[in-house]
């Protein structure tokens, strides 16, 4: 039961991050919180598949190269999610890059704030 509640909390926190970035109009727009929840679920599903494929191909790693690859994959995940989530629009590849960076920053800030309040939820950025 604790695992299910934790998963729901992560999806709600991820949806909040997507909704905030969508309202900031940083390369991505979202019509409401429900499309943000659907986008969070879709991004998680696509990210699992992308991470599995990258690991299978041996692509990734750490350092600058790994960070650049993760950023590009995150942008591609957002572009792909845009095709499946009604109410979510990504403004091309550059918009997806900007949105991916904004999502990572807002997710980090939200995780920091929740930990400050004693709520131990880590909000994962896409990929």
For residue 122, being part of any structural domain is answered with no
Per-residue CA distances from 88 to 37, 52, 119 (Å): 11, 25, 29
* Inside any domain, residue 35: yes
Domain count, the chain: 1
Q: How far is CA 72 from CA 9, 34, 103, in A?
A: 27, 26, 13
Q: Is residue 125 part of a domain?
A: no
Assess if residue 59 is contained within a domain.
yes
Q: Which residues contact 7 (CB under 8 A, 6 or more apart)?
A: none
pLDDT digits (tens, 9 = 90+) for 31-62: 999 999 999 988 888 888 888 888 888 776 66
- Residue 94 within any structural domain of the chain: yes
Identify whether 30 is part of a domain.
Answer: yes
Residue 121 covered by a domain: no
Per-residue pLDDT at 121 exceeds 70 = no
In a domain, 45, yes or no: yes
Q: Which domain holds residue 45?
A: 2-116
Alpha-carbon distances, residue 52 vs 29, 58, 81, 96, 100 (angstroms): 28, 10, 17, 21, 19
Kindly give the residue spans of alpha helices, DSSP state H, lying in the chain.
2-24, 33-57, 63-84, 92-116
Q: What angle do CA 32, 33, 39 make, to 5 degrees?
A: 95
Mean predicted lDDT score pLDDT of the chain: 86
pLDDT band at 23 (very low <50, low <70, confident <90, very high): very high
Is pLDDT above 60 for 127? Answer: no
């Amino acid at each position: 039961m604790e695992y299910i509640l934790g998963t729901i909390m992560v999806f709600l926190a991820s949806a909040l991050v997507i909704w905030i970035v969508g309202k900031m109009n940083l390369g991505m727009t979202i019509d409401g919180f429900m499309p943000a929840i659907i986008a969070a679920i879709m991004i998680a599903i696509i990210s699992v598949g992308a991470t599995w494929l990258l690991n299978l191909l041996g692509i990734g790693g750490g350092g600058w190269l790994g960070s650049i690859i993760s950023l590009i994959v995150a942008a591609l995940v957002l572009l792909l999610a845009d095709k499946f989530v009604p109410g979510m629009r990504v403004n091309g590849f550059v918009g997806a890059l900007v949105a991916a960076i904004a999502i990572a920053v807002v997710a980090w800030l939200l995780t920091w704030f929740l930990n400050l309040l004693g709520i131990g939820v880590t909000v994962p950025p896409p990929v």
